Chains A and B, each alone.
Chain A
Amino acid sequence: MKEDLVLPAPREAAADSAGEPLLQVAGLTKHFPVKGGFPIRRTVGAVQAVDGIDLTVHVGESFGLVGESGCGKSTTGRLITRLMEPTAGTISYRGKDITHASRKQLAPIRSEIQMIFQDPYSSLNPRQTVGKIISGPMEINDIVPEGGREKRVRELLEIVGLNPEHYNRFPHEFSGGQRQRIGVARALALEPKLIVADEPVSALDVSIQAQVVNLLQKVQAELGIAFLFIAHDLAVVRHFSQRVAVMYLGKIIEVGDRESIYTRPRHPYTHALLSAVPEVNLSDETDGGRRERIRLAGDVPSPISPPSGCRFRTRCWKAQDKCAAEEPPLIQISGNHEGHLTACHFPEEPTIEGRDEDIVLDPALAALEEGIEGQ
């Protein structure tokens, strides 16, 4: 990537007090009705994709949202960008309630919230040139930047590390990583204040993932754009997000600043996720020490009928009767930092050091590992 990039000066966004909430989400819920029955189709249940989540993204901040596949991360992203209508809860942007705003009402905000998509092969229209794709958002919002749209598109292409001469090419002439850069350029075209990035690198080659994450990081730092960065493991967001929320089956089970989540996690599920992250022990306390190892058994339960009480209890090694009866509230557990909230009745020790015995909840996996060690 070129060093002397032409970047517009960081806008006042970065200068804003970091504490001001840009996006505030409260009790956000999305249930997809499940139709069934014969001969008359009726609603027989609901997929509780997102079930009452609260989160706040501050101006210029990068917020990570992590969870296993199917836990409702994409749905959350789509609710926030208003691609889907929430079942309940509120979304406010800069103090303005946009929960049920219509397309026309959203118009002034549209340019400020943009999205980067997971699949670079489906997120670019195969019949439009790169120039058309990137200038599309400007056209829709009737924005003509100084020097014309084409000049701006070329600038954007340069910012995301592509050759401005590729203006007239079609998406199929690019690799996955390059396509994702085009997607980033499109998201930047309107100079947004918040970008929802839905697993922007998980479809890419590992070697390219780092490049794209670096690009996003650069964009975030230099343009002062707030990010809601969605990922399915903690490794990707580690270097990117100042704050991280962990989601499980439609609920946020732990949220906190990066330091707290990566070195002092309290929720058993966060422990499990962390133990799956390779080379996470960069922090001093764990240097040399053994990392804990947790393998989770089984699948995520169906979001149509989630377990009562704590939704993680079917896979939790600390589960007790109370967990089934009572849903743990998302609160600050004593000893935790300010803003580090955990939803668990019996939290783990705030450490990621190895324990006496590995927790392997999957018998098949255990047998496999014994076999390997026995050799």
Chain B
Amino acid sequence: MWIRFKRDRTGVISAFIVLIFFAIAAAAPLIAKAYGKNPYTVYADERPELFDSAGVPIQPNGGISGEFWFGLEPGNGYDVFTKLIYGIRTSLMISIAVTLAVVITGILLGVTAGYVGGKTDYSIGRVIDFLLAFPSQLFFIASMPVVVSLFVSPTDETPTYVRVVALIVVQWVLGWMSLARILRGTTLALREREFIEAAKVSGASPWRIIRREILPNVVTPLLVQSTYLLPNFVTIEAGLSFLGVGIVEPTPDWGQMFSKASTELVLQNDITYMFFPGVSMIIFVVAFNLLGDSVRDAFDPKSAR
């Protein structure tokens, strides 16, 4: 399986790219330190000579220079490079948290429904149907402020961690169903296999059967699904931040950079600003999806290429 994966060049390259992104995200503070800047410094105040009266960098291409590799943000004049790597960090941390929550929920509910069957299966199945029938895009947007207001009163300033938690909760609640459904199906098929009966004949408890006999057999669909889920959550998170219901300034965030890029000031004066978050996200999502394909192929050589 590992050998099959290594032979797949697309898979190896995309895995490499994905790993680089994770490394950048993990090492963002270190990189920023070595680079000598941070994403919170308002260069419009510190170095006013770099900006015109509207707050747009004077130098061409959004102020790209040896000092500011990716330029400066129009308006407050944040450094784009550090902002981007910190943004990737925020985005990936949120998406990983969501993926973990979804995987755990998916296993718990999906495998339980499949193994126990009967009424449990029926009720979990109906909950899944109900949630899947939701217009999730709309619901994401609508529910974010609601969830946030659960934690803080509308008059107070919303702390960043509350927004992060709300983002995770909303995506989790509306994101676990497809995985749970797939795991339920796999478990249902496994339950009929004779090795489960063999374990029962020896007196194994249901818990042990799930843990030792079923879980090792659902690792494949689990891994494959997770590699599709994570980039999906990255885009959803970006979308929410873009629409202004996710992470807001001054916290750096991948998606929020798009939202910044589409403001009138930036859009009209500094198209280059859009380039870096845009291209990096496209590369990330495409690479991750290709990786997902390769993982699936490696696990299941029968699905033809």
What residues make up the interface of A, taking CB atoms closer than 8 Å to B? 78, 81, 83, 103, 106-107, 110-111, 113-115, 117-119, 122-128, 133, 136-137, 140-141, 183, 186, 190
Instruction: Confirm or deny: B213 has a beta carbon within 8 angstroms of a beta carbon on chain A.
Output: yes
Taking a contact as CB atoms under 8 Å apart, the answer to whether A141 and B217 are in contact is no
Taking a contact as CB atoms under 8 Å apart, the answer to whether B201 and A125 are in contact is no
Given contacts A103-B205, A125-B216, A127-B217, contact A140 B194 (CB under 8 A): no
Given contacts A83-B200, A110-B201, A140-B199, contact A117 B194 (CB under 8 A): yes
Instruction: Confirm or deny: B197 has a beta carbon within 8 angstroms of a beta carbon on chain A.
Output: yes
Instruction: Confirm or deny: B202 has a beta carbon within 8 angstroms of a beta carbon on chain A.
Output: yes
Tell me the complex Cα distance, A140–B205, Å: 8
Instruction: Confirm or deny: B154 has a beta carbon within 8 angstroms of a beta carbon on chain A.
Output: no
Instruction: Confirm or deny: B267 has a beta carbon within 8 angstroms of a beta carbon on chain A.
Output: no
Q: Which of A106, A123, A141 has the most CB of B within 10 A?
A: A123
Distance in angstroms from B207 CB to nearest chain A CB is 11
Distance in angstroms from A186 CB to nearest chain B CB is 7
Q: Which of A81, A123, A190 contacts B195 (CB 8 A)?
A: A123
Taking a contact as CB atoms under 8 Å apart, the answer to whether A140 and B198 are in contact is no
Tell me the complex Cα distance, A177–B198, Å: 18
Taking a contact as CB atoms under 8 Å apart, the answer to whether A107 and B197 are in contact is no
Distance in angstroms from B68 CB to nearest chain A CB is 52
Additional A-B contacts beyond A126-B217, A140-B208 (20; CB < 8 A): A78-B197, A110-B201, A110-B203, A111-B202, A111-B203, A113-B201, A114-B201, A115-B201, A117-B194, A117-B198, A122-B193, A122-B195, A125-B195, A127-B217, A127-B219, A128-B212, A136-B198, A140-B202, A141-B202, A190-B202
Tell me the complex Cα distance, A113–B201, Å: 8
In residues 52-78 of chain B, which contact A (Cβ within 8 Å)?
none
Taking a contact as CB atoms under 8 Å apart, the answer to whether A107 and B217 are in contact is no
Distance in angstroms from A362 CB to nearest chain B CB is 34
Taking a contact as CB atoms under 8 Å apart, the answer to whether A119 and B202 are in contact is no
Nearest-neighbor residue (CB-CB) of A137 within chain B = B202
In residues 174-203 of chain B, which contact A (Cβ within 8 Å)?
193-195, 197-203
- 12 CB-based A-B contacts, threshold 8 Å: A103-B205, A106-B203, A110-B201, A114-B201, A115-B197, A117-B198, A123-B197, A127-B217, A137-B202, A140-B208, A141-B203, A190-B202
Tell me the complex Cα distance, A173–B205, Å: 29
- For the residues of B in contact with A, the DSSP-based class is helix
In residues 133-167 of chain B, which contact A (Cβ within 8 Å)?
none
Instruction: Confirm or deny: B204 has a beta carbon within 8 angstroms of a beta carbon on chain A.
Output: yes
Taking a contact as CB atoms under 8 Å apart, the answer to whether B197 and A83 are in contact is yes
Taking a contact as CB atoms under 8 Å apart, the answer to whether B205 and A125 are in contact is no
Nearest-neighbor residue (CB-CB) of B202 within chain A = A137
Q: Which of A83, A107, A126, A127 contacts B201 (CB 8 A)?
A: A83
Complex interface bits, B197-231 against A, C-beta within 8 A gives 1, otherwise 0: 11111111100100011001101000000000000
Distance in angstroms from B178 CB to nearest chain A CB is 24
Taking a contact as CB atoms under 8 Å apart, the answer to whether B198 and A123 are in contact is yes
Taking a contact as CB atoms under 8 Å apart, the answer to whether A110 and B195 are in contact is no
Nearest-neighbor residue (CB-CB) of B193 within chain A = A122
Distance in angstroms from A146 CB to nearest chain B CB is 20
Given contacts A125-B213, A126-B217, A128-B216, contact A119 B204 (CB under 8 A): no
Residues of the A chain whose Cβ atoms lie less than 8 Å from the Cβ of B201: 81, 83, 110, 113-115
Residues of the A chain whose Cβ atoms lie less than 8 Å from the Cβ of B212: 128, 136
Nearest-neighbor residue (CB-CB) of A78 within chain B = B197
Given contacts A125-B213, A125-B217, contact A136 B199 (CB under 8 A): yes
Taking a contact as CB atoms under 8 Å apart, the answer to whether B195 and A140 are in contact is no
Q: Which of B194, B216, B217, B219 has the most CB of A within 10 A?
A: B194
Distance in angstroms from A3 CB to nearest chain B CB is 30
Residues of the B chain whose Cβ atoms lie less than 8 Å from the Cβ of A123: 193-195, 197-198
Taking a contact as CB atoms under 8 Å apart, the answer to whether A115 and B198 are in contact is yes
Distance in angstroms from B166 CB to nearest chain A CB is 38
Q: Which of B202, B212, B213 has the most CB of A within 10 A?
A: B202
Tell me the complex Cα distance, A186–B217, Å: 20
Distance in angstroms from A134 CB to nearest chain B CB is 11
Given contacts A103-B203, A140-B202, A141-B202, contact A117 B197 (CB under 8 A): yes
Nearest-neighbor residue (CB-CB) of A107 within chain B = B203
Distance in angstroms from A323 CB to nearest chain B CB is 37
Residues of the B chain whose Cβ atoms lie less than 8 Å from the Cβ of A140: 199, 202-204, 208
Tell me the complex Cα distance, A78–B196, Å: 13
Residues of the A chain whose Cβ atoms lie less than 8 Å from the Cβ of B197: 78, 83, 115, 117, 123
Residues of the B chain whose Cβ atoms lie less than 8 Å from the Cβ of A110: 201-203
Tell me the complex Cα distance, A110–B199, Å: 11
Taking a contact as CB atoms under 8 Å apart, the answer to whether B195 and A124 are in contact is yes
Query: Which 10 pairs show the lowest CB-CB distances between chains A and B?
Result: A110-B203, A137-B202, A127-B216, A123-B194, A117-B194, A125-B195, A122-B194, A115-B201, A122-B193, A140-B202
Residues of the A chain whose Cβ atoms lie less than 8 Å from the Cβ of B208: 140
Tell me the complex Cα distance, A141–B203, Å: 7
Distance in angstroms from A204 CB to nearest chain B CB is 15
Distance in angstroms from A74 CB to nearest chain B CB is 10
Residues of the B chain whose Cβ atoms lie less than 8 Å from the Cβ of A124: 195
Residues of the A chain whose Cβ atoms lie less than 8 Å from the Cβ of B193: 122-123
Residues of the B chain whose Cβ atoms lie less than 8 Å from the Cβ of A106: 203
Tell me the complex Cα distance, A121–B256, Å: 53
Tell me the complex Cα distance, A83–B191, Å: 13
Distance in angstroms from A143 CB to nearest chain B CB is 10
